């Protein structure tokens, strides 16, 4: 038969009695004041709770002496019954703390610049909506550095755009990204009708990302059969390349994601290229070799896969 909540013993009293019982087992004398401090109660509240419990139960549980407080025989019996209850409450408290920590778990992610700038914000917004307590520790680097961070297990997940799978890590293709060629409106290519062929593109100095970036790797691979790209300038920032291209310094080759706004506004003009120039590359998720993402990291990966 269920026991009404109002008939259950005061848990504060049970904790105090167990403290006094354990002090006696250790051969120590404890006062109500010491017991109250040990369990985080003010002494007046502890004394009042014990007196109320004795009055309600009709039992004398404590004997107060000049040297301290001693449990009566009845008090020891009640404290012994209460001991597993108090231990159970401690386990509940610790379990709640563990659950809160789990919900507030930190997921460590390293992402390449293009992914971090144009894709990850949306993914993280959805992830935080699904798991409000989770925190994401994010570092942004080029694809080569992301792979190194994953290989060294400094992060749980890496997100890059790369034609090839990096060595020494587990990886999975999660999508595709397309590079485009763009020029300033005043560039001769802005008015041409015919697509730019691979040989012409390879011979024309381009604004490109730095070695080690997935974007640069894609450009190098696309033009490898024609001697590789000629370099007008290298930048580690998509924004710097856009600014240089808008100034008419040279054509640029960047992700469509990075150039979408500039092309849409007319600040840059997209230039068609021949089909032989393959400027698409997979988006990849990486994680340390020999492992599988777990917990919140696995949830984030699942969300990215479903994007």
**Domains of the chain, start order:** 5-103 (1.10.10.10), 108-288 (3.40.190.290)
Both structure tokens of 44? 């007046």
pTM of the model: 0.63
- Angstrom distances, CA of residue 234 to CA of 139, 224, 241, 244, 245: 22, 17, 8, 10, 12
Digit-by-digit pLDDT tens for the chain (307 residues) are 455 666 788 888 888 888 888 888 776 767 788 888 877 888 888 888 888 888 888 889 888 887 778 889 998 899 899 899 988 888 888 777 766 655 555 789 999 999 999 999 999 999 988 887 778 899 999 999 999 999 999 999 999 998 788 999 999 999 999 999 999 999 999 999 999 999 999 999 999 999 999 999 999 999 999 999 999 999 999 999 999 999 999 999 999 999 999 999 999 999 999 999 999 999 999 999 999 998 889 999 999 988 6
pLDDT at residue 156, rounded to an integer:
95
pLDDT at residue 43, rounded to an integer:
86
**Which residue in the block uniquely carries the two structure tokens 């108090």?**
86
pLDDT at residue 196, rounded to an integer:
96
pLDDT at residue 292, rounded to an integer:
92
């Amino acid at each position: 038969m269920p026991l009404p909540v109002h008939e259950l013993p005061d848990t504060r009293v049970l904790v105090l009695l167990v403290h006094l019982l354990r002090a006696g087992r250790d051969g120590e004398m404890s006062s109500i004041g010491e017991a109250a401090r040990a369990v985080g109660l003010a002494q007046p509240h502890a004394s009042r709770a014990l007196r109320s419990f004795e009055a309600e139960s009709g039992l004398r549980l404590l004997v107060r002496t000049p040297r301290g407080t001693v449990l009566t025989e009845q008090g020891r019996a009640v404290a012994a019954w209460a001991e597993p209850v108090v231990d159970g409450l401690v386990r509940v408290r610790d379990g709640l703390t563990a659950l809160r920590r789990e919900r507030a778990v930190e997921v460590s992610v390293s992402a390449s610049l293009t992914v971090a700038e144009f894709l990850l914000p949306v993914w993280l917004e959805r992830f935080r909506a699904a798991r409000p307590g989770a925190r994401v520790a994010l570092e942004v680097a080029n694809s080569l550095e992301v792979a190194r961070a994953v290989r060294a297990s400094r992060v749980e997940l890496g997100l890059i755009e790369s034609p090839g799978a990096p060595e020494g890590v587990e990886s999975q293709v999660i999508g595709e990204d397309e590079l485009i060629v763009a020029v300033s409106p005043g560039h001769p290519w802005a008015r041409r009708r015919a697509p730019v062929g691979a040989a012409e593109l390879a011979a024309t100095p381009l604004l490109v990302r730095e070695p080690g970036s997935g974007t640069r790797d894609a450009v190098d691979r696309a033009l490898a059969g024609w001697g590789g790209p000629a370099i007008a300038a290298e930048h580690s920032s998509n924004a710097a390349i856009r600014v240089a291209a808008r100034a008419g310094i040279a054509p640029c080759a960047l992700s469509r994601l990075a150039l979408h706004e500039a092309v849409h506004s007319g600040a840059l003009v997209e230039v068609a290229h021949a089909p032989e120039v393959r400027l698409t590359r997979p988006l990849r998720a990486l994680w340390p070799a020999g492992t599988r993402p777990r917990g919140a990291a696995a949830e984030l990966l699942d969300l990215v896969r479903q994007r």
